[in-house]
Structure 1
Amino acid sequence: MLGATLPTPLYPLYQEAFAFGELVTTLVFAVYAAGVIAALVLAGGWSDRIGRRPMLRAGLALSAASALVFLFADAPGWLFAGRVLSGLSTGIFAGTASAAIADLAPGVGKGRASLVAAAVNTGGLGVGPVLAGVLAQHAPHPLALCFVVDLVLVAVAAVGVEAVAEPVRRVGSPRLRPQPIVVPAEVRGVFARAVVAGFAGFAVLGLFTAVSPAFLGTVLHNTDHAVTGLVVLVVFAASVLGQAWSSVLGTRRALAAGCAGLVAGATLVGASLPAASLAVLVLGAAVAGAGQGLTFRAGLGSVVESCPPDRRGAVTSGYFVAFFTGISVPVIGVGTAAEAFGLVVSGTVFAALLAILAAVALVLTVRAGRG
């Protein structure tokens, strides 16, 4: 997951090296999400049939391939290829690794397992921009060194995958073919509430990971790559804290509180752009990140715990499909609008729309809870 966000603070450098604009940057980000969704849809249930470990191996291989493509990139096309490979890797890990953690947890630790799964997903995504930003700012070879480090980390992860137990018992020789993600009837109510609340939260993450470097450089006139990475880290670190708080509040309250946090955070982010205030932007990132963490962990925990074990990989993958749609599609709109109206106008409007969406999710969540 760390490797998936390594390019975030490097986009200004790629724009300068390869001479492309903000729209191409958002499209590069979007093809990553397309790769995630493709992996979730096409192979989301495979680990339920062939085992978790083979799919985790495939995810690591794709992650290493992505790092190698970025390491030797010399044209925009390489960035698209690298992001697709990274997306495929993330799609495998989002569903398979989350299911494996739930499988391997002892009976009394199932609730904590969902926290661990959510935290490592979000925490890894948050650490990536900091690692790349600090190395790009203070070490040689800014477009290469972080991917060398990533390859080393992938090798370490490969050792870990081989050491973990295989929780799925393989029966016969199952045929691996794309299957539609079908949510069992007994899970659909929980699934729908979790997806509606979490969609807005992942759209906030998309805003920060795809276009925050341009916001900082163009609007706030701050081109320090390490600062870019730290701003992105704020939203993900706050998300991890929100995930921890969700276990204290309980699922229903966590979903409602998370939606309220998203409304407040998106409002602050929108206000920071015309005001050109880094402090308000960081505060908005913290509030929105906490809201995203509350909705994400509460939703993931409720879905995993209510799902039959033999459908857990497929249903968890379906859960992430909805979120990675939210993290990608709206951001393309921001990139397109930025070309025509500028980052301040497009970013402010996008933040306002996110606040409205989160408010709608809050109303739906409260009504569903009463029902």
Structure 2
Amino acid sequence: MLSGTVFAVCMAGTTLPTPLYPLYQDKFGFSELTVTVVYALYAFGVIGVLLLVGNASDAVGRRPVLLCGLGLAAASAVCFLCATGLGWLYAGRLLSGLSAGLFTGAATAYVMELAPDGGASRATLVATAANMGGLGCGPLLSGVLAQYAGWPLYLPFVTHLVLVAGSAAVLLRLAETVRERRPLRAVRPQRPALPPQVRAVFAPAAIASFAGFALFGVFTSVSPEFLAESLHVDDHAVSGLVVALAFFASTGGQLAVGGVGVRRSLPLGCAGLLAGLALLAGALRWDLMSLVVLSALVGGAGQGLAFRAALSEVAGASPEHRRAAVLSTLFVVAYAGISVPVIGVGLLTDRIGLEGAGLVFIACMAVLVSTAAVYLARRPAEARV
């Protein structure tokens, strides 16, 4: 579906700089902490949009919001192209987060609304693949271009600008699906909400979502540096592929929920996250590339299982008139996982090194995931969806 392609192009732009961070470190001379702060700004942008204008496309229409998101994606690429200092990288990541925040809800709804009659299941598959698959394509594209083509800090973003322009042309030819549009002033900030009947389901879902996104955040922000420093892997294509594998595995995990069932997917996802964390600890301790790859695959699949199951359980337990606000709360918790732990790892890296910081992070996330798993095991059957 063309709308899914537009979705994927936008999401690819948010992960495009991932394998390029070591090059920016060499160019501008900043620390690993700065890398994690640059990365975390993306999450702050997403959270801000979700809270302030997350329901904008319901009022003004899908296409205007998605066009705005593509405009922000283009502005982000321009910031990276013009980067002569750290401020440009900060601006580029923040704009990328704003773009993703606009796309996350609006593009998912748009893909499903454009589906033909009886195509709801396929549309869900397309939206899932476009979201996580697009995130995986970003580092893979930039890594290959940086390694095998010239201008490694420029060509990936020029390529993305071309793709964004093509996506805008496609979007202008697609039909608007919101029939009763309202003015922009009708958009109101969405307050996080947690009705009493949702809390028993929300707690383990939020913990698993936080840990899963934290694993992705740390993996994508520091793995290129770890591959270069500890494993002496300077191939940007390999670095991009390793990060992409985590997102592709997450896509597979989300798609597997349909066969596994929501009720079993959340505890299985927690088990996958624990296994992925253990493999990542082994990779850090013994400097083994094979364990890095396995960590990406197993942890990514666990994140996909856990997060889609978390969304399904929380949505099912929420009152219909408050469902959007409750899901926004879950997304805020999830994206907090990309920002807070990532910055913490950056702070620790400057003091105890990348290996030590990574092991501390893994221990903390393992405690969180284990807590969610124990809660799920002891939860009464009637509280399960």
So what's the TM-score if we normalise by structure 2?
0.89
- Structure 1 residues 239, 151: CA separation in 2 closer, same or farther (over 3 Å shift)? same
Range 286-295 or range 166-175, more displaced: 166-175
Which one is further off, 111-120 or 155-164? 111-120
Q: Quote the Cα distance in structure 2 between the aligned partners of 1:364 and 1:100.
A: 36
Deviations, residues 292-331 of structure 1 (Å, cap 9, x unaligned): 1111222334556777888666554443222111111101
1:27-66 alignment to 2 at 5 Å?
27-66=37-76
SS at match of 2:186: coil
| Aligned partners of 1:10 and 1:143 also within 8 Å | yes
Asked whether 1:283 is paired with 2:294, we answer yes
Indicate which of 85, 90, 97 corresponds to 2:107: 97
What's the counterpart of residue 233 of structure 1?
244
The one of 282, 294, 305 equivalent to 1:271 is 282
Distance 1:322 1:270 in 2: 24
Task: Identify the residue that residue 321 of structure 1 maps to in structure 2.
Answer: 332
Counterparts of 1:179 and 1:297, CA distance in 2? 22
Structure 1 residues 306, 93: CA separation in 2 closer, same or farther (over 3 Å shift)?
farther
* CA spacing shift, 1:295–1:128, aligned 2, 3 Å: same
Is 1:170 matched with 2:218?
no
Count of residues paired in the alignment: 371
1:262 maps to a residue whose letter is L
Partner amino acid, structure 1, of 2:39? F
Can you give the 5+ residue segments of structure 2 that lack an aligned partner in the other structure? 1-10
Whether the 8 Å contact between 1:242 and 1:292 is mirrored in structure 2 is yes
Q: Counterpart of 1:278 in structure 2: which amino acid?
A: M
**Secondary structure in structure 2 of the residue aligned to 1:268:** helix
Alignment of 1:139-218 (within 5 A): 139-173=149-183, 174-182=185-193, 191-218=202-229
User: Over residues 143-171 of structure 1, what are the superposed CA-to-partner deviations in whole Å (9 max), with x where a residue is unaligned?
Assistant: 00000110111112213322333222335
d(CA) in 1 for partners of 2:195, 2:126: 24
Task: Output the amino acid matched with 1:336.
Answer: L
For residues 313 and 168 of structure 1, the distance between their equivalents in structure 2, rounded to whole angstroms, comes to 17
Q: Distance in 2 between matches of 1:369 and 1:304?
A: 19
Classify 1:160/1:296 alpha carbon distance in 2 versus 1 (closer, same or farther; 3 Å).
Answer: farther
Match of 2:261 among 250, 253, 270: 250
Structure 1 window deviating more from structure 2 (212-221 vs 114-123): it is 114-123
Q: Give the superposition deviation at 1:98.
A: 1.9
Q: For 1:283-322, list aligned pairs within 5 A.
A: 283-303=294-314, 315-322=326-333
Question: In the alignment, what sits opposite 1:82?
Answer: 92
Consecutive unaligned residues of structure 1, counting only runs of 5 or more, are none
Give the counterpart of 1:341 among 328, 343, 352: 352
| 1:186 CA displacement | 6.8
Aligned residue in 2 for 1:6: 16
Deviations 1:266-294 (A, max 9, x none): 01101111101011111111110110111
Percent of paired sites with the same residue: 53
Give 1:193 shift.
Answer: 4.7
Given candidates 338, 347, 356, the residue that maps to 2:367 is 356
1:358–1:193 CA distance, 2 compared to 1 (3 A)? closer
The equivalent residue for 2:25 is 15
3-state SS of 1:179 partner: coil
Give how far 1:211 is off.
0.7
After superposing the two structures, state which structure 1 stretch, 286-295 or 154-163, moved more.
154-163
1:223, distance to aligned residue in structure 2 (A): 1.5
Determine helix, strand or coil for the equivalent of 2:232: coil
